[in-house]
């Protein structure tokens, strides 16, 4: 059985990088040593792995990676710290068209 990992790295400039791999140890080493010069993390080393989730279905992993990439920094930090209450709060839609705000 193959496993896939969605991971979040914290870069030296404080930014976060989200990726997917089927070999987390190898991919982390590639980021650390700057294997790909055109990679986002190349000029932002050193990096630190802050979060990863394991999947046995590649499509679920791809979906989760794309979802995280669209998140705000605050949501990523809530996920990293395991603060699922804050993650839920940050996930709530707060625009005027949301069902909670209709008719108010």
- Are 46 and 86 in the same domain? no
Q: For residue 29, give the CATH number of its domain.
A: 3.40.1440.10
pLDDT tens-digit profile of 8-31?
999 999 999 999 999 999 999 999
Given a cut of 90, whether residue 1 has pLDDT beyond it is no
Domain of residue 87, residue span: 72-104
Paired with 20 in beta bridges are 6
Cα separation of 5 and 65, whole Å?
A: 9
| 3-class secondary-structure state, position 101 | helix
- For residues 49 and 9, is the Cβ–Cβ distance under 8 A? yes
- Are 61 and 46 in the same domain? yes
Given a cut of 60, whether residue 53 has pLDDT beyond it is yes
Given a cut of 70, whether residue 46 has pLDDT beyond it is yes
pTM: 0.86
User: Residue 99's pLDDT band (boundaries 50, 70, 90)?
Assistant: low
Instruction: Classify residue 7 as exposed, middle or buried by CB count within 10 Å of its CB (0-12, 13-18, 19+).
Output: buried
- Are 47 and 97 in the same domain? no
Percent of the chain with pLDDT over 90: 81
Cα separation of 91 and 71, whole Å?
A: 9
Closest residue by Cα to residue 5 from 18, 21, 16, 17: 21
Return the pLDDT at 21: 98
- Mean pLDDT across 4-10: 98
- For residues 10 and 43, is the Cβ–Cβ distance under 8 A? no
- Are 88 and 52 in the same domain? no
Number of compact structural domains in the chain: 2
Given a cut of 60, whether residue 48 has pLDDT beyond it is yes
Given a cut of 80, whether residue 95 has pLDDT beyond it is no
């Amino acid at each position: 059985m193959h496993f896939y990992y969605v991971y979040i790295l914290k870069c030296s400039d404080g930014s976060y990088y989200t990726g997917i791999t089927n070999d987390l140890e190898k991919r982390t080493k590639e980021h650390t040593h700057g294997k790909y010069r055109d990679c986002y993390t190349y000029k932002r080393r050193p990096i630190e792995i802050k979060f990863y989730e394991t999947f046995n279905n590649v499509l679920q992993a791809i979906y989760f990676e794309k979802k995280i990439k669209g998140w705000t920094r605050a949501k990523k930090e809530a996920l990293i710290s395991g603060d699922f209450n804050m993650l839920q709060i940050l996930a709530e839609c707060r625009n005027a068209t949301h069902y909670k705000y209709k008719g108010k």
